[in-house]
Amino acid sequence: MTSQRPTSSDPRRAIPSTDRLLALPEVVAAGQRLAPQVIRRLITELQATARRGEIPPEAVEPRTVEAVQTARSSELSTVLNATGVVIHTNLGRAPLSNPARQALQTAAGYVDLELDLDDGKRSKRGAWAQAALLAKAPDAQDALIVNNGAAALSLATTALAVGQGSPEVIISRGELVEIGAGFRLPDLITSTGTRLAEVGTTNRTTLADYRSAITEHTGALLKVHPSNYWIGGFNATVTTKQLGALAAEKGLPLVVDVGSGLFEPDPVLPDEPTIAQALRDGADVVISSGDKLLGGPQAGLILGSKAALHKLAKHPLARAFRADKFTLAALEATLNAPSTPVYDALHADIEVLYARSSRIAEALDADVVPHQGRVGGGGGAGVPLAGWAVSVPESFARRLRTGSPAILPRVAEGRCLLDLRCVPPGHDDVILQRLKDLAAEDAA
């Protein structure tokens, strides 16, 4: 085997050594932010690039300095959401309000999560977040906070389906839904050994269907809001109120998964079920997500009767699903804040959207076109959010996404559309400047 070692005349010998690069003052300074192995990896990569002849040996040193100075501790990037989709799953669903962001900062250190600072004794974990939740839902007797809506549903059905023999919950065939990305609620529920007793048909289910399905195995009745689809035409569903009455008559708990976490009715979303109404209609347990319409952190919110919540809290899965301090802190701050970015985006004034879009379009000689935003995130299925978009060439889209900050537009019908509904107003000028730069690039 012939040796691949560089000879004395080989330019690769001029590649600076790792020790030399590590001793550069800028590299030493970067050691405050980056772990040694991260810095070594950057150096090794650049040396390898030079060895392959892709950059000259003398470029390794300046490139190392540049690499350590621009390297970030987290690759997560801020994105300006110009899609008009309010709860954008690929963008992390709900953006948090400023109070919630501050709460996350506080939670990052040692905090009195399970400690009463008054008497120095252990206290109930996250009691303040729970209190804020109960203040928002006065019809609930008790509340529990878990990791997400899926965990909440799994915990509720598992802990309550304790009928004799093989426990089961009764659900309408019209509510066996897939929420997104292959996440199917029936699979989740049955994964803990709970059986589903399916009643009715896809389009029609009656109260009699539920009634006749109740056996000694029945542990609970379940109603799921099919967040992302709706049935028109010949159909029938049983209301929460009717199910609540049947559950009470049979002494069974009724679990209602409302999905999106709307506490009170919202005229923008007339068909969205609310937590308050589900409780008033007789649900023993109401489940929702924290990062959909509530506009908070990822969380599963469980509200309901003392007896039912006690069973859930005692179940071993409650510990596996329990929310961390960040969730509890951000959730409490969200509940106590006057508004959320999600609420503001959903209720954006169409005149204001037009004025903002026009100001950008005029500066660019571009068009403003009508554009329908969406609620997104498996909520408000089919509800259009009338608004406007700045229309620029499709070729802008990729450059907008890959610039800094990243700007995510919508690409449709051969155009790149920027809907400002979910863009904080203070960022309009950032978008305008980037569009100007891209237009100038193309004109050059």
Ligand X SMILES: *Cc1c(COP(=O)(O)O)cnc(C)c1O
Angle at 190 between CA 189 and CA 191, to 5 degrees: 95
Return d(Cα 427, Cα 407) in angstroms, integer: 11
378 part of the interface to ligand X, by CB under 6 A = yes
- Smaller CB separation from ligand X, 84 or 259: 259
Look at the block and give the residue holding tokens 């329990």. 322
- Of 142, 168, 198, 257, which lies in the binding site for ligand X, with binding defined by CB under 6 A? 257
Minimum CB distance to ligand X smaller for 137 or for 287 = 287
Q: Whole-number minimum distance, CB 429 to ligand X, in Å? A: 34
C-alpha distances out from residue 102 to 135, 326, 334, Å: 21, 11, 11
376 counts as binding ligand X under rule CB under 6 A: no
For ligand X, the closer CB: 274 or 391: 274
- Residues 6 or more apart whose CB falls under 8 angstroms from that of 350 comprise 386, 387, 388
Choose, by CB under 6 A, the member of 47, 97, 148, 157 that binds ligand X: 148
Query: Judged by CB under 6 A, does residue 149 bind ligand X?
Result: yes
Pairing of strands 115-116, 168-172: unpaired
Window 214-253: contact mask with ligand X (x via CB under 6 A): ----------xx-x--------------------------
Residue identified by tokens 């679990």 is: 255
Q: Return phi, psi of residue 9, to 5°.
A: -90, -5
Size of the site for ligand X (CB under 6 A): 14
Residue in the shown chain whose Cβ atom is closest to ligand X: 149
Classify residue 425 by burial, with Cβ atoms within 10 Å: 0-12, 13-18, 19+.
exposed
> Binding ligand X by CB under 6 A: which of 163, 259, 304, 409?
259
Contact of 258 with 286, CB cutoff 8 Å: yes
Which CB atom, from 64 or from 148, has the smaller least distance to ligand X? Answer: 148
Q: Which tokens go with 315?
A: 């179940």
Q: Tell me if 218 sits within 8 A of 253, measured CB to CB.
A: no
Q: Residues 276-315: x/- map of binding to ligand X (CB under 6 A)?
A: -------------x----------x---------------
Question: Does the footprint of ligand X cover residue 179 (CB under 6 A)?
Answer: yes
The tokens for 58 are 């003398």
**Residue 77 CB, nearest approach to ligand X (Å):** 23
x/- track of binding to ligand X for residues 107-146 (CB under 6 A): ----------------------------------------
Separation between Cα atoms, residue 354 and residue 60, nearest integer Å:
50
Residue selected from 27, 39, 94, 150 as contacting ligand X according to rule CB under 6 A: 150
Rounded-to-integer distance, Cα 180 and Cα 231, Å: 18
Q: Is 88 in the site for ligand X (CB under 6 A)?
A: no
**Contact call for residue 200 and ligand X (CB under 6 A):** no
